[in-house]
Chain A
Amino acid sequence: MNVLFALLYKEFLCELKNKQGIISSFLFTFFLVFIISYSMAHLNISNNLVASLLLLLILFLSLTLMPRIITIEKERGTFFFLQKLAPIENTYMAKTAYSTILNTISLLCSTFAFHVFLNSNIQNWMYTGLVLFLICLNFSAVIIFTSLISINLNSSWIYSCVLSLPLLIPQIIYSLQLLTAILIDRYDSVFWQNLLGIIGFTILSILLFPILIRTIYRVD
């Protein structure tokens, strides 16, 4: 547990030093939100469409920035030392936690920007935060897993995107339903059913992927 927290601390320390992740993720999301809102400003768009756009934004953000967290370690040559210093499953957990926190904050801000620009009907920001956190955690768990696979194969991050998308299908289905429910402010039984579904997949990812990563990186 100490190793995990030390790795997480290292991630935030590195981030504070160069601020690359924060700046790029915020700039990227705000730019996308602005472009989408500007093009939709005079159209009477449905909440379903806004939910789809928000999900698309999450996907873009996740697929472009999350693998970068891993590939940057490889490019700098620090991944080798990470492997030597800490068990790979701890590195996986720390990277997942770090990217979840970073993306949740960034997405909360962009959802608020959506709310301001497009006059959405979001009332309950606690549920919005919870849903965005769960979506980010799920996406991070899967994308960091596939990024570690592609690093092991010495492949580019595009390979990790190809491998991630099919594994993200249930999360995308649940996320779309949850985001639509949030945008129309309807928290009925279907919302709770979807929330339970995404929580189930989160638990599964967090329990299963570290074991699989340890198996992949095991030295015989």
Chain B
Amino acid sequence: MIAAIIASFMAPGANQFQYPSLARIIFWHLPCAIISVIFHLRCGYFAYKYLQNKNDSNEIKMSLSMEMASLMASLTMITGMLFSRVQWGAWWQWDARQTSYLMLLFLFTASLTLQAGLSNSNSRGRILASYNIATLPIGLFLVFVYPRLTQVMQNSFHPSQTIQQGLFDKNYTFTLLFVGSTIFITCYKLFSLKYRVLLFEKEKEENATRNLEPYSSNTTSTHMVRPVSLSEKN
């Protein structure tokens, strides 16, 4: 991660911008946006898998993917707004991409609200998975369709075809790939670390419940209970 930070500062500034040095924010802004979409897609995939086999691990992965997607979308918003303030003169421009990302953030927040509001009931996973699947087409629409709508595209300042048209400098492409893959690996590590912790917690909880079971549900226990006086210690 330190190497990625150094690499992003070593890249030359883009002279076509008002503040060439701040154009380097793209090394963090673009990967965060792409990774948030990847995690949202993963969330949809795990939601579908959960509905198929009701496996607890898929439920945890689904919730974690949504959390990571929200985190990355927030970072995209922050870096985008910073760029907008410096290069275009205002924190908020009503730019198509900016607006669509804010709406995406609303979508993620609603899913997180539902996640937080659900108690550990039987239908928790099913409701969460269904809602996350319902959010998937909306998320895809906001990222891939809405910014390209004819009436919206006309008013956009956001550069969107730079990579496709090969307008990136070689240095920029290399640094972008390096920083992007570093962020992705860090996110994935964080994801798997939290997944392991949550899985462990869940197993611990299940074990605790299982240990209580013979006393609560099984009334025909084979164990003998002998009355012991309080003074009878060793």
Q: Is the CB of A163 within 8 A of B123?
A: no
Chain A interface category by residue count: 20 to 34
In the bound complex, what is the Cα–Cα distance between A118 and B176 (angstroms)? 54
The contact string, 1 if C-beta is below 8 Å from chain B, for chain A 138-169, is 00000001000100110100010011011101
Please determine whether B138 and A170 come into contact, CB atoms closer than 8 angstroms.
yes
Q: Which residue of B lies closest to A174 (CB)?
A: B149
Residues of B within 8 A of A166 (CB): 103, 106-107, 109-110, 135, 138
Q: Which of B64-72, B124-132, B215-223 binds A?
A: B124-132
A16 within 8 A of partner (CB): no
Nearest chain A CB to B11's CB is how many angstroms away? 36
B103 x A209 contact (CB < 8 A): no
Among B118, B131, B145, chain A packs the most CB atoms within 10 A around the CB of B131
User: How many interface contacts (CB-CB < 8 Å) are there between A and B?
Assistant: 72
Are A152 and B110 closer than 8 Å at their CB atoms? no
Q: Does B113 contact A (CB under 8 A)?
A: yes
CB-based contact B151/A190 at 8 Å: yes
Query: Is A165 touching B110 in the complex (CB atoms < 8 A)?
Result: yes
From A189, A193, A216, B126 is in contact (CB under 8 Å) with A216
| Minimal beta-carbon separation of A120 from chain B (angstroms) | 21
**B187, CB-defined interface residue at 8 Å:** no
Alpha-carbon separation in the docked complex, A208 to B14 (Å): 46
Q: Which partner residue on chain A sits nearest B105 by CB separation?
A: A166
A173 interfacial contact with B, CB 8 Å: yes
**B117 lies within 8 A of chain A by Cβ:** yes
Chain A at the B interface: mostly helix, strand, loop or mixed?
helix
A177 CB-CB contact with B under 8 Å: yes
Whether the Cβ atoms of A167 and B103 lie closer than 8 Å is no
A218 interfacial by beta-carbon distance below 8 Å: yes
B195 within 8 A of A: no
A162 partner residues in chain B, CB cutoff 8 A? 110, 113
Contact of A149 among B51, B121, B131, B138 (CB under 8 A): B131
Given contacts A159-B117, A163-B110, A165-B110, contact A152 B103 (CB under 8 A): no
A170-B151 in contact (CB<8A): no
**In the bound complex, CA of A159 to CA of B129 (Å):** 17
Q: Are A149 and B117 in contact (CB under 8 A)?
A: no
In the complex, the answer to whether A170 meets B131 with C-beta atoms within 8 Å is no
When each residue 204-220 of chain A gets 1 if its CB lies under 8 Å from chain B and 0 otherwise, what string results?
10001100110110101
- Chain B residues closer than 8 Å to A190, beta-carbon distance: 150-151
Closest chain B residue, CB of each to CB of A169:
B103
A209 to B145, CA, bound (A): 21
Q: Given A145-B134, A165-B110, A215-B126, are A170 and B117 neighbors across the interface (CB < 8 Å)?
A: no
Chain A residues near B149 (CB-CB < 8 A)? 193
CB closest chain-A residue, reference B152: A173
Can you give 12 contacting A-B residue pairs, CB < 8 Å? A153-B121, A162-B113, A163-B113, A167-B134, A169-B103, A169-B142, A170-B142, A209-B134, A215-B129, A216-B123, A216-B126, A218-B126
Which residues of A line the B interface, CB within 8 A? 145, 149, 152-153, 155, 159, 162-163, 165-167, 169-170, 173, 177, 189-190, 193, 197, 201, 204, 208-209, 212-213, 215-216, 218, 220
Please give the residue numbers on chain B whose beta carbons come within 8 Å of chain A beta carbons, in ascending order.
51, 54, 103, 106-107, 109-110, 113-114, 117-118, 121-123, 126-127, 129-131, 133-135, 137-138, 141-142, 145-146, 149-151
